[in-house]
Amino acid sequence: MSELSALLDRSLRERLLRAQTAGCECMVKTPIPSYHEDICKYRLCVEALEKIDQYQAAMLLHESDIRELGQEVERLTLEVKGWEDNDSLYGVDEP
């Protein structure tokens, strides 16, 4: 995730948390979002924060997959380089 993206996520998260605090407009006294009305500011903020968390988790997983793929490509590249060094890549046997 880029620094700008992280900054925007933090800024958005901070604003949502501030809006969430005492943001209930339907007078429900529970932190469970599903009990709040669909248009309640508290519920909307909680759901938005959950989506941000899901997005960030997906991005971390994606970055991890890319990193693992890169390591595998590097390993295979080194293996092929080893073949080139001893001509076995080209089917030439050493005497």
Tokens 């890319």 found at: 66
Q: What is the pLDDT of residues 31-90, one digit of tens each?
A: 898 999 988 988 898 888 888 888 878 877 787 788 787 788 788 777 777 766 665 545
- Is pTM beyond 0.95? Reply is no
DSSP per-residue codes, the chain: --HHHHHHHHHHHHHHHHHHTT--SS----S-GGGS-TT-HHHHHHHHHHHHHHHHHHHHHHHHHHHHHHHHHHHHHHHHHHHHHTTGGGTPPP-
Q: Is the dihedral of CA 49, 51, 54, 59 positive or negative?
A: negative
For the chain, give every domain's residue range: 11-84
